Chain A
Amino acid sequence: MSTEGGGARLGSARSQHGRGLLELTDGKAVIVVEGLSRRFGDVTAVNGLSLKIQEGEVFGLLGHNGAGKTTTIRLLTGVLSPHGGEARVLGLDPTRDGPALRGRTGVLTETPALDERLTARENLSYYADLYGVPRHEVPARVEGLLEEFELADRADEPVGRYSKGMRQRLALARALLPGPELLFLDEPTTGLDPVAAREVRELIVRLSGEEGRTVVLCTHNLVEAQRLCHRVGVLEHGRLVALGTPAELVRGLDRGLRVEVELSPGDEGAVGALRGLPGVLEVVEERPGLLGVKVASPRVVPEIAAAVVGAGGRLYRLQPQEPTLEDFYLALHGGKGGR
């Protein structure tokens, strides 16, 4: 897995690579992008994006609405042409080799984009023809996907009668229909119930881990990104402002360790003892009986228990809170860094 970017926030001089990224393709890089830019009028949707994604990697593309995630997908599939920079996807130039490239990729769009007047089977068969799935394989492949996504029972109903979750499952099935080497998934678990969402997450893990497919995951669900992605990149106004593994990014947070301490409400003695404890940076009473304690190091955690008990307090719960990708993301965007 590439560590390009060093797992840190990226400054404006992000593209100082020495050697160009395009020269670094080592046969395992599925996506190599250097200085990719795209404008819409006065708005720069993607601004000097440089990135390398390896085969079998699940890469999370994070960012607010309008940060440039969807435009990036469109550029990498050759649906849009860049105004600057270069890209190689599966060894192809998206602008020049768009049709060939799209034949090897699957895209789950932000909205399911299904024809509601057609049935699920007709929708899939239609796309099988467009993707050039061998004719003799179409019925079995369509049936297999309908079974896999639990749509077989209602495969011959118009999609207009489907629930939001069923449509999302069908759109996912369509993205997998051509057996793509590279998958772009835009909010894949949106609209799914918890069980279906878990199945989709398991599917992504399987596609990447067992089948070696590369997945680019655009999501606002940071818990999901942290759980699934080998690496994430954060886009802000079209610029890549952070890149690395979730662990690397979180490690870079300058916030100490946060510990949740639950004790008897109104136990001022214990609160006072904690405030005076060496290594405790901050004590915040979040609600009666629940304290948020920021400490300098994990070694202080046992001292917290001892201080509360020593002050005659009743300790119900002591829980160190590992910083999450969400903390990092919020900190990056100037929001509240801790929970």
Chain B
Amino acid sequence: MNFDFTDDQEQLRDAVRKWVDKGYSFERRREAVSAGGFSRAAFNEIAELGLCGLYVSEADGGMGMGPVEGMVAMEELGRGIVLEPLTQSLIAGGVLSGYAPDAVKAQWLPNIASGEALVVLAYQERGARYQLNVCASKAAQTPAGWAVTASKSIVSAGDMAEAFIVSATVGDKIALFLVERSASGVTARGFGTQDGSRAAELTLANTPATLITLDGLTALEHAVDIGIAATCAEAVGVMDKAMAITAEYMNTRKQFGVVISSFQALRHRAADMKMQLELARSMSYYAALKLNAPAPERRAAMARAKYQLGNSMRFVGQQAVQLHGGIGVTNEYIVSHYFKKLTQLEMTFGDTLHHLSEVSDRMQDTAGVFA
């Protein structure tokens, strides 16, 4: 039982925080949002920090690190509401390392780690909401290998990525494929999302694809769980900073001749925010520490974590805006962007009611962290 970070982990945190503070200003972010919600230059800088290869072995050109390092990096990116989706590189690194044939690993992992290839998960379909086992996309064997015909929805940075991890059925089972954006039959129609970042609707028409695994649902669940843990950590960073911004504002803003942090009604709200933040941080630790557990235990833990995080995100985001008063609902001031980020993260990889249902369905007779 130990929740301390190692010196190496603290150094990683410092390095990422330094980049966010110095290299990822709100102005730079604003420009990236105006330019479409994705900056290749910023993504490359994240890669230069080694973050894209956190879950890639050193032999494959990565850092060979684990969920705690992933959590540390995501928390820090969250503090800067960074648009560029490191979560996707963590998923790609983790899933290919765990499930792909050696040749695919050798071809892709070094490029994922270096950031040359942004590989993103394309799994959601219209009408499937958050269900992973609903998949109308299909794959078929061809003389040259495999071809996939698919429609995938809200694919993170989909028109900026070099390749996709795509779920498609083979017979009645879901398999996972790697598809290059430059391949024939690929259409990626990009658009902005509510938090200022970017996504795309992806269609594949008989597109050549490389098989990752025929046991695709297992791998997809794992992929989403890596995404959930990363999202939880990112949200902790976003909330931590949103709280700090709010506390600073409350200690500066005066009404009725005094700083508004002197009003008990507002102080209690801040205490409630702190409660939600720390419950969230505790459950983000829990998610990171359960990410390598056997699948049933891991799935149950991620549902619990995302349920807590979802509630915390909504409360902290809404109250951060509320405690700012009018300035909180402007687009110019920074806090509304933290709120929108939290809102989007709540609805990523399963929203709060979805995960409540998961927790409820998986409930055992026992109780607690170790049950």
The finding on whether chains A and B are genuine partners in a shared complex, rather than unrelated, reads no
Footprint of B on A, CB under 8 Å? none
